[in-house]
Homo-oligomer: A and B are copies of this chain.
Amino acid sequence: MPPKPDTATDNINTRHERRMQRKKAMMDEKIEQAQRKTGVLLVHTGNGKGKSSSAFGMVMRAMGHGMKVGVVQFIKGAMSTGEEIFLRRFPDEVEFHAMGEGYTWVTQNRERDMEKAAVAWEQAKRFLTDPTIGLVVLDELNIALKYHYLDLQMVIDDLDGRPEMQHVAVTGRGALPELIAIADTVTEMQVIKHAFKEGIVAQAGVEW
Protein backbone atom coordinates (compact mmCIF):
# COMPACT_ATOMS: atom_id res chain seq x y z
CA MET A 1 0.00 0.00 0.00
CA PRO A 2 1.47 3.39 -0.94
CA PRO A 3 1.92 5.85 1.95
CA LYS A 4 -0.92 8.28 2.47
CA PRO A 5 -0.27 11.79 1.06
CA ASP A 6 -0.07 13.25 4.56
CA THR A 7 2.66 10.80 5.57
CA ALA A 8 4.65 11.55 2.42
CA THR A 9 4.44 15.28 3.11
CA ASP A 10 5.44 14.69 6.72
CA ASN A 11 8.46 12.72 5.53
CA ILE A 12 9.54 15.52 3.22
CA ASN A 13 9.13 18.06 6.00
CA THR A 14 11.00 15.91 8.56
CA ARG A 15 13.88 15.32 6.14
CA HIS A 16 13.99 19.03 5.36
CA GLU A 17 14.01 19.86 9.07
CA ARG A 18 16.91 17.46 9.79
CA ARG A 19 18.91 18.83 6.87
CA MET A 20 18.29 22.41 7.97
CA GLN A 21 19.29 21.55 11.58
CA ARG A 22 22.61 20.14 10.35
CA LYS A 23 23.10 23.24 8.22
CA LYS A 24 22.34 25.52 11.18
CA ALA A 25 24.83 23.65 13.41
CA MET A 26 27.48 24.00 10.70
CA MET A 27 26.77 27.73 10.22
CA ASP A 28 26.77 28.34 14.00
CA GLU A 29 30.19 26.71 14.31
CA LYS A 30 31.57 28.77 11.42
CA ILE A 31 30.18 31.98 12.90
CA GLU A 32 31.66 31.04 16.29
CA GLN A 33 35.07 30.66 14.68
CA ALA A 34 34.95 33.78 12.52
CA GLN A 35 35.05 36.64 15.00
CA ARG A 36 37.85 38.84 13.79
CA LYS A 37 36.71 42.30 12.69
CA THR A 38 38.99 44.09 10.30
CA GLY A 39 38.89 45.98 7.05
CA VAL A 40 38.82 43.54 4.14
CA LEU A 41 40.31 43.79 0.68
CA LEU A 42 37.96 42.36 -1.95
CA VAL A 43 38.88 41.69 -5.56
CA HIS A 44 36.26 41.12 -8.28
CA THR A 45 37.79 39.75 -11.45
CA GLY A 46 37.01 37.45 -14.41
CA ASN A 47 35.33 38.06 -17.78
CA GLY A 48 31.74 37.89 -16.56
CA LYS A 49 29.31 40.69 -15.78
CA GLY A 50 28.96 41.94 -12.20
CA LYS A 51 32.43 43.08 -11.11
CA SER A 52 31.76 46.83 -10.92
CA SER A 53 28.07 46.52 -10.14
CA SER A 54 28.89 44.30 -7.16
CA ALA A 55 31.27 46.96 -5.82
CA PHE A 56 28.51 49.58 -6.24
CA GLY A 57 26.11 47.27 -4.39
CA MET A 58 28.62 47.36 -1.52
CA VAL A 59 28.57 51.16 -1.72
CA MET A 60 24.81 51.02 -1.16
CA ARG A 61 25.25 48.70 1.84
CA ALA A 62 27.95 50.89 3.34
CA MET A 63 25.78 54.01 2.88
CA GLY A 64 22.90 52.16 4.55
CA HIS A 65 25.14 51.62 7.56
CA GLY A 66 26.13 55.30 7.64
CA MET A 67 29.67 54.77 6.36
CA LYS A 68 31.48 57.31 4.20
CA VAL A 69 32.58 56.02 0.81
CA GLY A 70 35.32 56.98 -1.65
CA VAL A 71 35.13 55.87 -5.30
CA VAL A 72 37.83 56.14 -7.96
CA GLN A 73 37.05 54.92 -11.46
CA PHE A 74 40.14 53.96 -13.45
CA ILE A 75 39.99 53.61 -17.24
CA LYS A 76 36.22 54.12 -17.51
CA GLY A 77 34.74 57.54 -17.22
CA ALA A 78 34.21 59.25 -20.58
CA MET A 79 30.53 58.35 -20.47
CA SER A 80 28.46 59.37 -17.47
CA THR A 81 27.31 56.16 -15.92
CA GLY A 82 24.14 55.58 -13.94
CA GLU A 83 26.12 54.99 -10.74
CA GLU A 84 28.01 58.25 -11.18
CA ILE A 85 24.82 60.29 -11.80
CA PHE A 86 23.25 58.60 -8.79
CA LEU A 87 26.16 58.94 -6.36
CA ARG A 88 26.67 62.62 -7.15
CA ARG A 89 23.34 63.17 -5.37
CA PHE A 90 25.12 62.45 -2.07
CA PRO A 91 28.22 64.66 -1.93
CA ASP A 92 28.38 64.41 1.88
CA GLU A 93 28.34 60.62 1.85
CA VAL A 94 30.31 59.69 -1.25
CA GLU A 95 33.39 61.21 -2.85
CA PHE A 96 33.50 60.27 -6.51
CA HIS A 97 36.48 60.60 -8.83
CA ALA A 98 36.19 59.40 -12.45
CA MET A 99 39.48 59.29 -14.33
CA GLY A 100 37.91 60.36 -17.61
CA GLU A 101 39.01 59.64 -21.19
CA GLY A 102 37.13 56.34 -21.46
CA TYR A 103 38.56 52.98 -22.43
CA THR A 104 42.13 52.76 -23.65
CA TRP A 105 41.08 51.09 -26.89
CA VAL A 106 39.17 54.27 -27.68
CA THR A 107 41.91 56.75 -26.70
CA GLN A 108 44.87 54.72 -28.04
CA ASN A 109 47.46 56.81 -26.28
CA ARG A 110 49.50 55.00 -23.65
CA GLU A 111 51.34 57.98 -22.21
CA ARG A 112 48.18 59.97 -21.66
CA ASP A 113 46.55 56.94 -20.03
CA MET A 114 49.52 56.65 -17.65
CA GLU A 115 49.29 60.30 -16.64
CA LYS A 116 45.57 59.97 -15.99
CA ALA A 117 46.15 56.80 -13.96
CA ALA A 118 48.76 58.55 -11.82
CA VAL A 119 46.34 61.40 -11.03
CA ALA A 120 43.61 58.88 -10.21
CA TRP A 121 45.99 57.05 -7.86
CA GLU A 122 46.76 60.27 -6.00
CA GLN A 123 43.04 60.51 -5.35
CA ALA A 124 42.89 56.85 -4.28
CA LYS A 125 45.80 57.44 -1.90
CA ARG A 126 43.94 60.30 -0.27
CA PHE A 127 41.06 57.90 0.49
CA LEU A 128 43.47 55.14 1.62
CA THR A 129 44.96 57.44 4.28
CA ASP A 130 41.62 58.76 5.59
CA PRO A 131 40.23 56.69 8.50
CA THR A 132 36.83 58.43 8.26
CA ILE A 133 36.22 56.62 4.95
CA GLY A 134 34.80 53.15 5.61
CA LEU A 135 34.80 51.80 2.05
CA VAL A 136 37.01 52.61 -0.92
CA VAL A 137 36.07 51.37 -4.40
CA LEU A 138 38.90 51.20 -6.94
CA ASP A 139 36.88 50.45 -10.05
CA GLU A 140 38.80 48.89 -12.97
CA LEU A 141 42.11 49.24 -11.10
CA ASN A 142 43.01 45.74 -12.36
CA ILE A 143 43.07 47.07 -15.94
CA ALA A 144 45.43 49.88 -14.98
CA LEU A 145 47.73 47.38 -13.25
CA LYS A 146 47.57 44.87 -16.11
CA TYR A 147 48.74 47.50 -18.60
CA HIS A 148 51.44 48.70 -16.14
CA TYR A 149 49.91 52.16 -15.98
CA LEU A 150 50.68 52.12 -12.24
CA ASP A 151 53.54 50.65 -10.22
CA LEU A 152 52.29 47.44 -8.62
CA GLN A 153 54.49 47.66 -5.51
CA MET A 154 53.33 51.21 -4.81
CA VAL A 155 49.70 50.12 -5.07
CA ILE A 156 50.29 47.13 -2.74
CA ASP A 157 52.13 49.29 -0.19
CA ASP A 158 49.35 51.88 -0.16
CA LEU A 159 46.68 49.17 0.24
CA ASP A 160 48.65 47.52 3.07
CA GLY A 161 49.13 50.82 4.88
CA ARG A 162 45.46 51.83 4.90
CA PRO A 163 43.43 52.37 8.13
CA GLU A 164 42.75 49.05 9.90
CA MET A 165 38.94 49.08 9.65
CA GLN A 166 38.73 50.34 6.06
CA HIS A 167 37.26 48.03 3.40
CA VAL A 168 38.49 48.19 -0.20
CA ALA A 169 36.89 46.71 -3.32
CA VAL A 170 39.05 46.41 -6.45
CA THR A 171 37.44 45.47 -9.78
CA GLY A 172 38.49 44.59 -13.32
CA ARG A 173 39.47 41.66 -15.51
CA GLY A 174 42.84 39.97 -15.18
CA ALA A 175 43.64 40.68 -11.50
CA LEU A 176 47.39 40.23 -10.99
CA PRO A 177 48.43 37.27 -8.78
CA GLU A 178 50.31 39.64 -6.44
CA LEU A 179 47.04 41.47 -5.70
CA ILE A 180 45.10 38.23 -5.26
CA ALA A 181 47.79 37.12 -2.78
CA ILE A 182 47.17 40.07 -0.42
CA ALA A 183 43.34 40.08 -0.82
CA ASP A 184 40.93 38.65 1.77
CA THR A 185 38.03 37.83 -0.55
CA VAL A 186 38.42 37.18 -4.27
CA THR A 187 35.56 36.37 -6.63
CA GLU A 188 35.90 35.42 -10.26
CA MET A 189 32.87 36.41 -12.31
CA GLN A 190 32.55 33.80 -15.06
CA VAL A 191 30.48 34.26 -18.21
CA ILE A 192 27.92 31.54 -18.66
CA LYS A 193 25.93 33.62 -21.17
CA HIS A 194 26.03 37.27 -22.25
CA ALA A 195 23.19 39.23 -23.87
CA PHE A 196 25.72 41.18 -25.98
CA LYS A 197 26.61 38.00 -27.89
CA GLU A 198 22.92 37.49 -28.62
CA GLY A 199 22.84 40.83 -30.44
CA ILE A 200 21.40 42.87 -27.56
CA VAL A 201 23.04 46.31 -27.18
CA ALA A 202 24.53 47.50 -23.85
CA GLN A 203 21.72 49.31 -22.06
CA ALA A 204 21.19 51.94 -19.35
CA GLY A 205 20.64 50.39 -15.96
CA VAL A 206 22.25 47.12 -16.98
CA GLU A 207 25.77 47.78 -18.28
CA TRP A 208 26.16 51.46 -17.35
Q: Which residues of A contact B (CB under 8 A)?
A: 12-13, 16-17, 20-21, 23-24, 27, 30-31, 33-38, 40, 42-46, 48-65, 67, 81-87, 104-111, 134-135, 147, 167, 180, 183-196, 198-206, 208
Contact = CB atoms under 8 A, between A and B. Distances in A.
Contacts of A37: 200-201, 203
A27 B67 CA distance: 38
A49 B185 contact: yes
Contact of A189 (B12, B33, B36, B50): B50
3 A-B pairs closest in CB distance: A53-B57, A64-B82, A61-B82
Nearest to A195: B184
Nearest to A37: B201
A64 B83 contact: yes
A27 B185 CA distance: 31
